[in-house]
Structure 1
Amino acid sequence: MMSQSVNKSDVETTEKDTDFGRQLAQARKAQNYTVEEISEHIKIPVHTISVLESSDLEKLPAPTFAKGYIRAYAKFLEISEDEVLEKYSLAVPRDEESSLRPRSNLPGEASSQSPLVKSITMLLIIAGIAAVIFGSFKYYQEKAGAMEGELDNRAQSYTGSSLDSPAINPSETEQNPGLSGDDKLLVGQLDSSEDMSAATDEQDVAAVAGDTDNEERPALESEVETVTEEEIVAEQAAENDIIEFFAENGSWMEVRDANNARLFYNMVPVGSTKVIVGKAPFSVTMGNAKTTRVVINDLEVDMTGYIRPNNTAIFRVSTDGQDIIIQ
């Protein structure tokens, strides 16, 4: 009989030690607070406060959250937080508390928020960006080198020995003057100085014949003047167009006239000027276009829009009065 009384007393003591909610409820009532007032002050739902005061473990949230609510409630009532939490810990089964406890990092396991992981991640990102930049630079460098090599090879192939036909220098062209049936002066090219001399003799004979037949042919000029080579060249330049190239860094080029006749096909040395006389429009293909100036009939040509990425240019150019026509 005595033993049963002792066991009953122990059970009541244990229940009292684990009834954390009763302590909270008694403290609240002692300070004349309602559940709603407590809820408004500590920002915990009324339902949760009621569950805490009834010590209903099944309706309480996970131990981590429940302890937070108990601590806030006890602090507001100015009672011992540790005492209430100790009773709660005795009431909560060990296996439930341990299963809901946040998992800590295992020994040797690096957290994704650790400075080491952040540093390694940052280094990998920087290395990736550097690799992309280096690869792009290498690619464009090799591409530029290949284009430059191609231009050099093409420029070397445009030498005097490898051309299909020699360059035409209008200033060195000899002319063949003569008279037509209408008494007009005709200009043609001579192949040698002997032909020039023969033509001059024929002109002298024609002039003498004209003097003797002056009475029969009153409209014919009484005298034919000797035409010099300089006068012929000047007359040819007046009838044709003049295109000039100023190659600051040298330039290979091909120039054709309106009849598609090749006037020039060679290299222009560094710092040199090339003057070509022919019939416009001129078809021009040239290298080193960015450092080469083009002037046609004393008008400078703006060929900016025709310069290609590889520093070459292909265009047709002519003039109409003071206007330049380029295409």
Structure 2
Amino acid sequence: MVEAVEKNKDEINCGDRLANKRKEKELSVNQVAREIKIEPHVIEMIENNDFESIGAPVFVKGYLRQYSELVGLDPELIIEKYNAINSIEDSPPIVNDSVDQISKYVLTPKIIIIAIFVILISLGVLATVFGIFGNNEPVVIKMETETESLEPLLPPVSELPIDSSEIQMDETLEMETETESLEPLFPSIADEFFIEENMMNLNIIYSGLCWTEVFDANGERLFFGLGDQDREVNIKGLPPFDVMLGAADNLLEIKLEGREYNVVDSVRRGEVLRFTVVDDQT
């Protein structure tokens, strides 16, 4: 009976089968890890059937598929053997601690704007307090004294000649003042037109499940969730876009305004990939 159980276990042991096939092809663990772009210790976990230490089943299946294709085994058969060992249903991918650590120290434009508002409000409160409790009375007294000293020097109003040119100058100054008061309204309207005109469409296409988070130029989060080969992510916002992926190998293609976009200057830690999408037509 024990021999039958051991034999059945060997039949569904996908880790040993992958390891044996790798050795037949005279490949090292490091070579396999380099080809499928994962860490060597993950290959060792797969060959030891230590799948729980790797992470979510969706990641494990992706690694098994890549490994089996590399060594010439049927991916569906290997995944079937994995399912026989791990009967747990697929669950959404769990983001690594490294993602949380990155998110803690990311200084987004939104945080910067909030900090500036807090500083401005604090300065306004301080200015108000100093204005209330400051030494205002001596200034008033001084102004009144100066006014009184000038009164004898001023002739009666009826004796002053009225110059029409002075009246025109006063009217001109009033018009200029009104124009200046309206000027601050125009930049805000221009900004709205600028933002609307520069909005761009970002399209992310996947080959498998991938946790995704996207921010726009204003620090507003436009998307947070799972992408899949059956669920593309389509976003409209103001570039540049800050993109973070939890399963980088499942990224198939990125399009900006319908054009294929090549990712540059990306930062990768394990399966976590972060990069910025900018308008490459400007």
**TM exceeds 0.5?**
no
- Structure with greater contact order relative to length (CA < 8 Å, sep ≥ 6): 2
TM bucket (normalised to shorter chain) is: 0.3 to 0.5
Q: TM-score, normalised by structure 1?
A: 0.31
Larger radius of gyration: 1
